[in-house]
């Protein structure tokens, strides 16, 4: 199985004003896939579709080789899920919460659950209603990991957590993936957080997939070019031209934002009589913003 998650032409209308449209996701098995997008872009809706909690209007979904939603129950037995908004019984203690959760998973590992409880500094006798937001975040991650899943689906798992708690949660996640070769699908709007440990990335905006690529390509392949004597029409370029605009510092030059840049592509500018004056690396957040800006300007022009 090459892909742990695969969707094809997936459509779902969530409201009169928002829909998931023609979504084609490919999440390679054994990767940590960062699902990036601004708030309201459809990340949580997509996750609910992948887990069989919503039924698509059109298209296909396969998760761990199972057709969704038809075989959701088989897939969910092998999947750990941390929702954006935790659903826990506030009157239960931590140990009661874990026993309830463990009853649904034959693969539950009590030894590791106890180790994680110690590492996270959780008191098994504490009631859920008395836990801080950070402690709830740790408990949710513990529950997802201790069932020893093949796939972890995490919806904004560190949102609102302080840096120390966020680091503890992510380190436990990375340790598990290294040990089990599991697949992780993690959504977030925090670009720099995903940069540190994801090896694939997908960018969603307004229900549409803007880009999907290895993280290294995302980090290294988006550049800002300073072009003198730029041609009126770009023509057949060897890269993806995301944006072009007049250079504020020099009216005779333009700034081009491109994706898929490689050094030999400089030859293109010689061929069209232009001069490539400068190649500027963009950090991950700048690249993310440029992808969104280009996608939105394209939709505005439709």
Whether residue 300 has pLDDT greater than 60: no
Beta strand 151-155 with 183-188: parallel, antiparallel or unpaired? parallel
Q: What is the pTM of this model?
A: 0.87
> In 3D, which of 177, 172, 207, 142 has the Cα closest to residue 33?
177
User: How much is the average pLDDT of 208-231?
Assistant: 88
Mean pLDDT of the chain: 89
CA distance 66 to 5: 9
Q: Would you give the end-to-end CA distance of the chain in angstroms? A: 38
pLDDT in tens, 243-284: 888 876 666 789 898 888 888 999 999 999 999 999 988 888
Give mean pLDDT, residues 101-115: 94
Q: 260's torsion region: left (phi>0), alpha (psi -120 to 50) or beta? A: left
Domains in the chain with CATH codes: 3-206 (3.40.50.300), 217-300 (3.30.70)
Count of CB atoms within 10 A of residue 117's CB? Answer: 19
**What is the per-residue pLDDT across 123-161, written as a single tens digit (0 to 9) for each?**
999 999 999 988 999 999 999 999 999 999 999 887 777
pLDDT, tens only, 4-56: 999 999 999 988 889 999 999 999 999 999 999 988 899 999 999 999 999 99
> Which residue, 37, 85, 84, 81, is CA-closest to 63?
81
């Amino acid at each position: 199985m090459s892909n742990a998650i695969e969707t094809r032409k997936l459509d779902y209308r969530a409201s009169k004003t928002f829909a998931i449209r023609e979504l084609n996701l490919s999440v390679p098995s054994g990767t940590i896939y960062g699902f990036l997008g601004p708030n309201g872009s459809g990340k949580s809706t997509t996750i609910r579709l992948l887990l069989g909690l919503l039924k698509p209007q059109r298209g296909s979904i396969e998760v761990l080789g199972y057709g969704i939603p038809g075989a959701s129950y088989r897939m969910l037995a092998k999947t750990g899920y941390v929702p954006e908004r935790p659903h826990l019984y506030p009157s239960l203690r931590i140990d009661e919460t874990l026993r309830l959760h463990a009853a649904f998973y034959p693969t539950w590992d009590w030894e590791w659950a106890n180790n994680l409880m110690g590492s996270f500094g959780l008191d098994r006798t504490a009631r859920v209603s008395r836990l801080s937001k950070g402690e709830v975040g740790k408990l949710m991650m513990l529950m997802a990991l201790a069932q020893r899943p093949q796939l972890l689906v995490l919806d904004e798992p560190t949102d609102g957590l302080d840096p120390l708690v966020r680091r503890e949660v992510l380190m436990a996640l990375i340790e598990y993936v290294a040990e089990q070769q599991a697949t992780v699908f993690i959504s977030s709007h925090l670009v720099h957080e995903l940069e540190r440990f994801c090896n694939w990335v997908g960018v969603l905006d307004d229900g549409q997939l803007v880009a999907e690529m290895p993280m290294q390509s995302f980090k290294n392949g988006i550049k800002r070019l300073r072009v003198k004597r730029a041609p009126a029409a770009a023509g057949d370029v060897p890269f993806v031209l995301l944006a072009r605009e007049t250079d504020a510092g020099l009216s005779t030059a333009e700034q081009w934002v491109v994706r898929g840049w490689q050094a030999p592509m400089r030859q293109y500018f010689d061929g069209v009589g232009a001069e490539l004056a400068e190649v500027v690396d963009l950090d991950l957040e700048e690249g993310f913003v440029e992808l969104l800006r280009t996608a939105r300007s394209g939709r505005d022009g439709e």
